[in-house]
Structure 1
Amino acid sequence: MNFTGCIIAKNEEKNIAKAISSLQHVCSQIVVVDTGSIDNTAKIAANSNCEIYFKRWNNDFSEMRNFALRFARLDWIIFLDADEVLLPLSMEKYGKIFQDDRVGGVSCIIKNYLTDDKSSFIEHRYTRIFRNHPKIRYRGAIHEQISESIIELGLDIYESDITIEHFGYIDNSTEKKQRNLELIKKELSRQPSDYLLFHLANTEFSMNNLINAKEIFLKILSSRELSTENLELAQLRLFQIATSLNDWKYILEHQNYIFTNRNYEGLKQFILSACFMHRKQWEKSYHCLLAAKECNSSLVEQELLRKSIEAVEKYIDFY
């Protein structure tokens, strides 16, 4: 096993044991950087045979991550957040990739759970596995990126289906959201980018600041800087915001937008069905519900979908 696992953590005693355990299957070295815990985070890590280092938190995620990289001794790095778990079985078929000198990083699927029962989640990609190289380092105070430094070395980033489960969105405190909001705004004032605006809008959305979020999402919809994945999530958020604000006009005007992500498309169809229900257009609502069912979206509660279909069928029969 030629991997060093790295984690930065602060007051993560509820989560860190699972994160460490998931790395132990594939990593011969695990580095944990504690950034000021007052709970048992460091003790749990030490009892798990990890190397523990301490650095005071300074509102710069990249600096914290790069500090951890200084202690990595093996050829490849796997970086997790303390509230994440690597699914080890998903790595088994990629042995040849880690032996390919042209590959500098591996893009993983990050599965962000939104509910305790794992029934609702959003997926995105992130380069979490990369070569241990002195010029491969994180950049950006928040929503830090490693990919740019890999590409600058002329190395490839391989797109894999290696999966990391993230549980941080289930219990995301107001204090944490406010901290992130302030960090993003500070970084934007220093280095404006659509990527940071995207994360600012998502943070505003998570804090239910819907008008602010809507304004920013609309601003970045035509961005060439953002990935298709980011742009689709921005459009999905606008559908969700329109639903919360009863802005049925926006939903109807954009009903022909097709998401490549089936989870997003399923939620859009469900939202569109609600719009047609509001307009008492039962046949159209019914077809949207069937389309949502076909997508089997992780973002749509299936029992609610079933009941909605039954209710609309009754309206159709009645009218």
Structure 2
Amino acid sequence: MALRLPADLAASSAPPAGAPPVAAPPAAETGPVALGAWRAAWAAAAQETPARRHARRLRLIEELLGDAGGHRPADLTSRLLALADALVAALEDEPREPLLLNHAGVALYELGALRAADALFRAAERLDPQLPFVAGNRAEIRRRRAAGLGGTVALDAAAARRLKVLGERARRVAARARPAEGLTLSLCMIVRDEEAMLPACLSAVAHAVDELVIVDTGSVDRTVEIAESFGARVLHHPWTGDFAAARNVSFDAATGDWLLYLDADEVLVDDDAQHLRALTGHVWREALYLRGASHTGDLDDGTAVTHDSLRLFRNRPGRRFAGRLHEQVQGLEELTPDRFAVTDVRFEHYGYLGEVRAAKGKRTRNRDALAAQIADGDRSPFVRFNLGMEHRAEGEHEEALVHFRGAWEDLRGVPDGERLGFVPMLALHLVDALHVTGRRAEAAECAREVLDRYPGFTDVVHVEGALALDAGDLATAEARFRRCLELGDAPSAMSGSAGAGTFLAARALAGVLQRQERRHEAIALLEGTLRDHPRHLRTVEDLALALRADGVEADEVVARVAATGVGEHPVARYLLGRALLRTGAVAGAEAQLRTALAGRPGSDAARVALVEALLAQGRFDDAAREAAAVAPEGPHGPAARRHACFARLAGADDGSVPLEGLDRLPPAEAALFAAWATPGADGPPIAAGAAPLARTMLGALLRLQRFEAFARLVAAHERVDLPWRERRETLADLYLRHGFLSSAGEEWLRVVDRQGPDARALRGLALVAAQSGMTEDAVALAADAEALAGRPLEEIA
């Protein structure tokens, strides 16, 4: 045949990797297909359920066409007429079937009814522009008409008359093949204490649906009142720890022809909700995917995982949820792939943001639900994957790896396991967990296996770049990150990260270029990336740091960032200020951070950075006032308390200083501040956990030349439960770093006087001598240290 049909008709219009498992249609009968038996089977299919009927018809078409090649021309003509007649009759009952329209067009094309075939092809394309081969089939008709050719089989007079009638019927069918109108849509939700997020969710979607069915599972805030203000029918269902059970209450109550489900922390993008109405007319589909973007980390990071999520369904009996957590819709198993489709309707999911998870107690809730599901006997790879994701969200990478590995191994024995929607995400997180936990060789091997299964999975190529970077292989790292940029972001069906093939890859590549001293290339790349992806503001910080490393003054850095078009955004100002602060431009940092706070007064992150800028300038009273404005119970509260205590104590001339909020700090840190605030007081040893904070504050006091406060903190540092020598070496290193060479030498000499000369002490003295310009003494001390150590020393010059 000249026209194109998929090799397996039942697999055409295949759904994305996120589709549920699809049962195979009945197996084809072996041997030649008897036309009478075929007609009987076609008639019998009409008695099946809609899903089984459609699957059976596709298989019968495949059987008949696949068996046509071995027959005489007359038999072939009979078969094509039988197929065309059966398909046209089926389409007269329901013309909105793109796949059947295309198949009927193929049969009529072969018989020479080109006008009718073209009408059917155009109807199929009108319903489903992405239908495989239909555009090519229309092109083939145009070619055959231009060449003055007819059909591919000979027709006798009776067959010609029959074909004429079929052609007329087919053209009438094609004219009727348009999306349905007047179908209704119900939004189904379950909620609990969602007053913060529910208004944004409902505002974006309420106007696009016919019915709001919201199941409340025990809210004690204004959630029910807000839902009712949007016209929702609110049902009350006690929470049992089972998400599927609660969702099924909403599905049972819904009356729409189509069912859409969302969570309160999901918001349809811009005006995408208006497209939902058109989708309800796509009655040749049974389940539709929306394109989701789950924001991760902090909202202003611009990082998100993209995914296709099955959210829109025909309202059918038995189509209900199962699973306590990450519940899945059942009743889709008999559908053929062409019954699914991915739409362009987008939604944004905010529930994975760190502050949202913490505020809603998702950590405990999700783990409890998964534990209950396992207790119910569900130890499936999907449950193990989700448990791994919960551990990963908490930074428990070793625990996450156990579950990811187990799920991956369990899937090896599952036929067509790669079709399960969560498997690409599982594969990525397995590779990433191996990387994060230091199993680099295993991560590289696993990455190769995943890419064999999912070629072009950009996120895995990105991890390969990170692995090469860890190994110091800058050439390979550069090649892998450039490959990411070539690939672009992975298809949403793979649930990859937004930006893995654009801004995230560009930032990683810029880092590699800087390590190769190719700063100008890195800066140009970052500037272009920021212009192309202005929503990903983290690039601002990378660009500012790269410019500062290249010797650019702070004012010019500000101007260069502003030239990209994002400089006025409060978050851009914050990130720019943070970069200037890290590189010592504290006055410029303060200006940027104050501008950021003017735009977002509630940004505790920006306020804490401003406190640090004020401390770096020795403006202790101003720093203490700003620190007091930080929400004490928020994520930045502990840092603000530390800074406030430091400001009070660093700014004090002498005597005891009262402090507030010590009870909200870790006990070791609170004890360190208390000892610093009451000089000369005796007390128990301070836990070693205070040592890093003590070192940081001692270094800051030396930089600010607050020597009296430094001396008081040194006294408190002597009480930290560390070996005496470790305390000496800490001070010696700090003195050396800040140019107090004599004091550094004294600390090392104290070590020698008490414990005798050893390699470490002599190395320290050699460094002091070298920085003091005493080259001969430095060389001699280094040689003595080398002799004591019995191994080479780095050259001291």
Regarding TM over 0.5, the answer is yes
- 2:467 corresponds to 1:275: yes
The 1:292–1:46 alpha-carbon spacing in structure 2 relative to 1, beyond 3 Å, is same
The 1:23/1:315 distance shift into structure 2, 3 A limit, reads closer
Uncovered stretches (5+) of structure 1, i.e. residues with no partner: none
Deviation larger for 128-137 or 270-279: 270-279
Structure 2 counterpart of 1:313, from 508, 516, 532: 516
Cα pair distance change 1:95/1:13, threshold 3 Å: closer
1:249-288 equivalences under 5 Å are 249-256=441-448, 257-258=450-451, 260=454, 265=458, 267-288=459-480
- The answer to which of 231-240 and 294-303 deviates more is 294-303
Q: Counterpart in 2 of 1:236?
A: 428
Q: In the TM superposition, what whole-angstrom CA distance separates every residue of 1:180-233 from its partner, at most 9, and x where no partner exists?
A: 112112212323322212212212222222222212212222513463542221
Q: 2:85 maps to which residue?
A: none
Contact residue 111 and residue 165 of structure 1 kept, 8 A: yes
CA deviation after TM superposition for structure 1 residue 102, in Å: 4.5
Q: Tell me the TM-score normalized by structure 2.
A: 0.36
Counterparts of 2:250 and 2:342, CA distance in 1: 24
In structure 2, give the amino acid aligned to 1:292: C
Residue 119 of structure 1 corresponds to: 302
| Secondary structure of the corresponding residue to residue 81 of structure 1 | coil
For residue 372 of structure 2, what is the amino acid of its counterpart? Answer: K
Deviations 1:143-165 (A, max 9, x none): 1111x313458893333333222
- Code of the residue aligned with 2:342 in structure 1: it is E
How far does the alpha carbon of each residue in 1:85-126 deviate from its partner, in whole angstroms, 9 at most, with x for none? 124744666767534554322222222111413721112233
Question: Is the aligned partner of 1:45 residue 2:227?
Answer: yes
Shift in alpha-carbon separation, 1:137–1:309, aligned structure 2, 3 A: same
2:440 to 223, 248, 253: 248
Instruction: Find 2:280's aligned residue among 71, 77, 98.
Output: 98
Q: Check conservation: 2:292, 2:348, Cα contact below 8 A.
A: yes
- Aligned partner of 1:164 in structure 2 is 347
1:200 corresponds to which letter in structure 2? L
Distance 2:207 2:314 in 1: 19
Counterpart check, 1:211 vs 2:394:
no
Alpha-carbon distance between aligned partners in 2 of 1:100 and 1:289, rounded to the nearest angstrom: 41
Query: Which residue matches 2:160?
Result: none
| Structure 2 stretches lacking a partner, 5+ long | 1-182, 490-497, 520-797
**Residue 126 of structure 1 aligns to a residue in which SS?**
strand
1:229-278 deviation line (CA, Å, top 9, x unaligned): 4222122112322232222222332343427486x52x433433333233
Q: Partner of 1:198 in structure 2? A: 385
3-state SS, counterpart of residue 395 of structure 2:
coil
Equivalent position of 2:375 in the other structure: 189
Which deviates further from its counterpart, 233-242 or 307-316?
307-316
Q: Per-residue CA shift, 1:71-92, capped at 9, x if unaligned?
A: 3222111111010112474466
Q: CA RMSD in A?
A: 3.0
Contact 1:5-1:79 at 8 Å conserved across structures = yes
CA distance in 2, matches of 1:16, 1:289: 39
Give the superposition deviation at 1:27.
Answer: 0.5
- State the secondary structure of the residue aligned to 1:168: coil
- Give yes or no for the alignment of 1:139 onto 2:331: no
- Amino acid of the residue matched to residue 321 of structure 2? Y
Q: Say if 2:212 is the partner of 1:25.
A: no
Distance in 2 between residues matched to 1:153 and 1:282, nearest whole Å: 49
- TM-score normalised to structure 1 length: 0.85
Counterpart residue type for residue 432 of structure 2: Q
After superposition, where does 1:142-153 map in structure 2 within 5 Å?
A: 142-146=325-329, 148-152=330-334
Matched, 1:62 2:244: yes
* Alignment coverage as a number of residue pairs: 313
Partner of 1:103, secondary structure, is coil
Alpha-carbon deviation of 1:17?
0.7
| Between structures 1 and 2, the one with greater helix share | 2
Structure 1 residues 159 and 282: CA distance shift in structure 2, 3 A: closer
Report the more deviating stretch, 113-122 or 32-41.
113-122
1:289 aligned onto 2:476: no
2:276 and 2:188 map into 1 onto residues whose CA distance is: 20
Q: Is the Cα contact below 8 Å between 2:185 and 2:257 reproduced in 1?
A: yes
Distance 2:509 2:282 in 1: 48
Q: Work out whether residues 34 and 53 of structure 1, in 8 Å CA contact, stay in contact via their aligned partners in 2.
A: yes
Could you tell me how far apart the structure 1 residues matched to 2:398 and 2:236 are? 40
1:128 to 302, 308, 311: 311
Q: Go from structure 1 to structure 2 and tell me whether the alpha carbon gap of 1:10 and 1:141 turns closer, same or farther (over 3 Å shift).
A: same
Q: Do 2:213 and 2:234's aligned partners in 1 also have CA atoms closer than 8 Å?
A: yes
What residue number does 1:175 align with? 361
Distance 1:275 1:66 in 2: 45
> Which one is further off, 51-60 or 287-296?
287-296
Match of 2:407 among 206, 209, 220: 220
- The 8 Å contact of residues 286 and 313 in structure 1, kept in 2 or not, is answered as no
Matched with 2:188 is 6
Q: CA deviation at 1:285?
A: 2.0
Q: Which has the higher contact order (CA 8 A, sep 6+)?
A: 1
Equivalent position SS for 1:237: helix
Structure exhibiting the larger radius of gyration computed from Cα positions:
2
Quickly say closer, same or farther: Cα 1:118–1:133, change in 2 above 3 A. farther
Q: Do the aligned partners of 1:61 and 1:141 also contact (CA within 8 Å) in 2?
A: yes
Which structure has greater strand proportion? 1
**Alignment check: 8 A CA contact 2:184 2:280 kept:** no
- Tell me how far apart the structure 1 counterparts of residues 513 and 290 of structure 2 sit (CA, whole Å): 39
After superposition, the Cα gap between the structure-2 partners of 1:7 and 1:307, relative to the gap in structure 1 and judged at 3 Å, is same
**Distance across 2 between alignment mates of 1:176 and 1:152:** 34
Query: Percent identical across equivalent pairs?
Result: 20
